[in-house]
Structure 1
Amino acid sequence: LVVCYFSLLYHVNRLSPSTEKRRLSYLLIACPTAAFICSVDLSGYLGYNVAPVSGLVLSALLYFTLLIVAYPQISELHHFFARALVIIVSTLTGAAIIYLVSFFFGGSAPSFTSVFMMSFLIIISITPVKMLLKNMFNVLYPESKDVFTSLYEFDEKLEKEKALMLAEMAPVFAHEIRNPLGSIKGAAQYLQSDAATEEQRQLLNVIIEEVNRLNTVVSQFLDYARPTGGNRRSQDINALVLRTISIIAVNRMAGNITISHELQEALPHVDMDEQQVLQVMINISLNAIEAMPQGGSLTYKTSKIEDGDGPAVGISIQDTGSGIRPEHLKNIFKPFYTTKESGVGLGLAICRRIIREHGGSIRVKSIAGQGSIFFIQLGAGNKIRHNPS
């Protein structure tokens, strides 16, 4: 065991900074921690009456190792604890149901240890068995792949139908709005040239500026409603991140903000529309820059993700700005929701729409006063990932 541990330590030290190195580092920390706690059992030989804990600790270490190996998409330590908490709560709920069923039918329930282990094995085997059955059924009946369609996928289908309806109606509304706006702007410009006083010119200028603002709102509404099929082809996500940074630098958008990047090498290519995903990253970057008026740091990271749906690529954009308050965090991806005085509230909604159309997911984690980090996940290769994020 000691040789295995130091071999793993040597391997981890040789890895470049990446998600894999961070995950294996967690395992390197967990092993000696578990060994130290298990040493408490040795106190019994010294005359101390201490309940044995090694069995429980080794079980926890085994489960933690299982998470490291079986769920490579988990990269943060608190994600491990969150998944473990879900498993524990589900297991206890399952055990309670078994006891209730036994009581209802008048039978004698087995011991708590047996019930707990049965419930635990059922909970952790549901997802693997479901994936195994799905893959077997897809091989045997490739023409009937929709048999395992979940309620979430059904809800996603309804969302797509609403999006199609919106895409049909949006151009009509835009046409009906833009026509009178054009007339109003033209009339204001004509009157502005003949204005008798400076006050009249300023008032007419307000009309023109507001018409331009409404035109911008209509344009963003059309962008949100318009289908985002685009011109997709295999792309290098690292090259797109570097292009985003270059655009921000060339246009001097960052001001006194420090921009850095940590890009994992040899990432699989992503089947995507380059301009649309670039629009997403620039939009998120500009929001981050606006949140740091006094300066700060903006960091881009990429990583490879492996999960049950196949290989994927992860992109994170992190800032050290003002952050997002908890009451706003759950609404930031909703259309027309904004906390800015001059904002329309469609930027992040368009970002989510584009990423969803690419079969990916986008989420955000933020602490008010400390900054925000946006996570984007896109399926690698030609496989479309159905993620109802």
Structure 2
Amino acid sequence: MKKLIYLDNAATTKTAPEVVEAMLPYFTEYYGNPSSVYEFAGKSKQAVDAARKTIADSLGAKPEEIYFTAGGSESDNWALKATAEAYASKGKHIITSKIEHHAILHTCEYLEKRGFEITYLDVDENGVVKLDELEKAIRPDTILISVMFANNEIGTIQPIEEIGAIAKEHGILFHTDAVQAFGQLPINVDVCHIDMLSASGHKLNGPKGIGFLYIRKGVKIRSFVHGGAQERKRRAGTENVPGIVGLGKAVERAMSSMEERTAKERETRDYLIERVLTEIPYCRLNGDRTRRLPNNANFSFQFLEGESLLIMLDMKGICGSSGSACTSGSLDPSHVLMAIGLPHEIAHGSLRLTLNEEITKEDMDYVVESLKEIIDKLRSMSPLYEDFIKKQK
């Protein structure tokens, strides 16, 4: 097998061995339905309760404020749709940002078709929401502010505590999509005045198909899935016990290792950024240089297409993703890169590399040397690059 350097941890992460080990008994040994009354099923209920407490403790929340879902997209949908329904009599105005994940943006589009008005906040050149514009956007009929904790593409961390304080001052609910940030950054829902928070297991070495929505006690949002009485009658359906156990273990693991793990990721990330910016001409780093997720590096390279770059990196055993959406069948560049002001031709040549704690500086050396070789080759085939060089002479 060829050498594999996996640098797409923002897309998904490897499930940790200890997480898999914790889950296994709940497939074959303790397989009872947690809602059943007999003792055997109680083993499953105890495991669900323990995971709920672990997650709540990690956020400074109460266990009864944690609701299990199938992942971040469901949690985002629930937060927005159910809030809109429950608070429509108060107002139909919601504020979000232009760089949110599509789970938020497409839900907002859905709500717009149903009579809600959405304000999409601009961001600065680093992808940070402008607090003064947030203040100006607030209206008497504003019922919800939803701004992500950290961006999934460029890694920029938002001023969440300040946004939460503004929302609280105006009596507006505040939701944050923390899918990328949870497990990477310390989060306290009270300090940040967060009313709802979305997270997903597979972003922090947990299993896929499991996530949660934190809902502050007293927030009157409606049930999202109707049926049985699970999740305190707000999200029906038999609990995914192995997934919940795995998520709890992944959270425990992430919290206990956060300081040491993210320090290593940050050091390796900065090494990569410095080498790329120093050794590869006509490139830029997207997002804030320091106020970014510990494992995120996002670059734009002029005179090439991100899709071609990804394919050639893959041939060298390097897994990354592109800031360009062309890999999903769209010719449009990333909405995030457009929002921070990049022109189309530069946004199309983008590359996101997201690390984990196992990635070394030696791995980064291989990546940088591979990038230099590939970019030289792609640019040598580019008429735009050829014209640019002629003009420079």
TM-score, normalized by length of structure 1? 0.23
Which structure features the higher share of helix residues? 1
Structure showing greater Rg? 1
